[in-house]
């Protein structure tokens, strides 16, 4: 026995008068129901825009880092073999912090020791120590001076920059305060590309000398170079001036301590 067929009955159309009473046809429909409130939708779109901007910034910094590394590769000399390093009148030695006893950190000591090797090999005539002396109880450059004197450098050939709070400040002040047009930069390998890029963009012709005399835990420092390089690029674009400049200093004249 076959199953009964369904019977479909067409509904009669609504009389025209009734449609007119219902108003325009669009009133018969509800507005679409959204998953999110207007505020939530705005925040989602804002988050998307922020993520896009962050990705663009990171890509730009990575591209800049690659470009800087490539451009400065041929300007970096190993500090453990100074024979092939060209002569420069001044070695610019960057600060690198003090240890808990108030002495030079391992990185700072190696920078000073490498600069002393350059001096003793007649590759440089003067040592410009640049670092942080922002408080009376924290004086990087004085520790650097004492370390260099202890390694045999005459005090008269050491010049101190007490306001080298950053790589940018140190390079800017080297040009503006100490009137350097060229210099040999002494610091660790991870720092040299940014230091060279900064000085050369400021018009200070420079080479880099590595001060890696022992292994260091540099993962944090290498990662820090990325935002620091981005900050340097911004400083170049806006021509940011250091917090302190002060009077001119002649590196060939004895400096008052």
Confidence of residue 13 (pLDDT cuts 50, 70, 90): low
Max avg pLDDT among 17-21, 38-42, 44-48, 126-130: 126-130
Distance (Å, whole) CA 183 – CA 91: 6
Identify the three-state secondary structure at position 103.
coil
Identify the three-state secondary structure at position 186.
strand
Please report the pLDDT score of residue 20 as a whole number.
Answer: 55
Looking at the predicted structure, is the pLDDT value of residue 121 above 80? yes
Looking at the predicted structure, is the pLDDT value of residue 61 above 90? no
Confidence of residue 198 (pLDDT cuts 50, 70, 90): very high
As for how many domains the chain has, the answer is 1
Q: 171 in a domain, yes or no?
A: yes
User: Does 198 or 136 have the greater pLDDT score?
Assistant: 198
Residues 123-145, mean pLDDT to the nearest whole number: 93
The residue segments making up the domain with residue 136 are: 76-238
Q: 127 in a domain, yes or no?
A: yes
Q: State what percent of residues in the chain have pLDDT above 90.
A: 61
Q: 41 in a domain, yes or no?
A: no
Q: 256 in a domain, yes or no?
A: no
Q: 253 in a domain, yes or no?
A: no
Please report the pLDDT score of residue 3 as a whole number.
Answer: 60
Please report the pLDDT score of residue 45 as a whole number.
Answer: 86
Confidence of residue 43 (pLDDT cuts 50, 70, 90): confident
Q: 54 in a domain, yes or no?
A: no
Q: 31 in a domain, yes or no?
A: no
Please report the pLDDT score of residue 7 as a whole number.
Answer: 59
Looking at the predicted structure, is the pLDDT value of residue 35 above 80? no
CATH number of domain containing 116? 3.40.50.620
Identify the three-state secondary structure at position 216.
coil
Looking at the predicted structure, is the pLDDT value of residue 5 above 70? no
User: Does 43 or 28 have the greater pLDDT score?
Assistant: 43
Please report the pLDDT score of residue 186 as a whole number.
Answer: 98
Confidence of residue 253 (pLDDT cuts 50, 70, 90): confident
Q: 30 in a domain, yes or no?
A: no
User: Does 145 or 38 have the greater pLDDT score?
Assistant: 145
* Phi, psi angles (nearest 5°) of residue 159: -115, 140
């Amino acid at each position: 026995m076959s199953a009964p067929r369904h019977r479909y009955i067409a509904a009669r159309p609504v009389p025209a008068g009734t449609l007119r009473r219902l108003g325009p046809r669009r009133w018969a429909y509800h507005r679409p129901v959204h998953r999110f409130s207007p505020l939530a939708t705005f925040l989602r779109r804002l988050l998307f825009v922020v993520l896009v901007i962050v990705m663009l910034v990171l890509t730009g910094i990575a591209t800049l880092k690659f470009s800087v590394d490539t451009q400065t590769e041929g300007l970096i000399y190993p500090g453990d073999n100074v024979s092939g390093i060209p002569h420069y009148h001044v070695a610019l030695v960057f600060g690198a912090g003090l240890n808990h006893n108030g002495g030079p950190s391992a990185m700072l000591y190696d920078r000073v020791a490498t600069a002393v090797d350059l001096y003793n090999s007649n590759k440089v005539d003067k040592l410009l120590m640049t670092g942080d002396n922002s408080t009376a109880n924290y004086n990087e450059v004085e520790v650097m001076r004492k370390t260099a004197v202890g390694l045999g450098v005459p005090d008269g050939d050491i010049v101190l920059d007490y306001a080298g709070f950053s790589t940018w400040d140190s390079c800017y002040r080297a040009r503006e305060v100490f009137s350097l047009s060229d210099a040999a930069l002494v610091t660790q390998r991870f720092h040299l590309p940014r230091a060279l890029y900064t000085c050369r963009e400021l018009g200070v012709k420079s080479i880099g000398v590595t001060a890696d005399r022992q292994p260091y835990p540099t993962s944090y420092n290498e990662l820090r170079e990325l935002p620091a390089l981005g900050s340097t690029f911004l400083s170049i674009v806006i021509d940011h001036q250091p917090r302190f400049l002060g009077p001119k200093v002649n590196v060939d004249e004895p400096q008052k301590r």
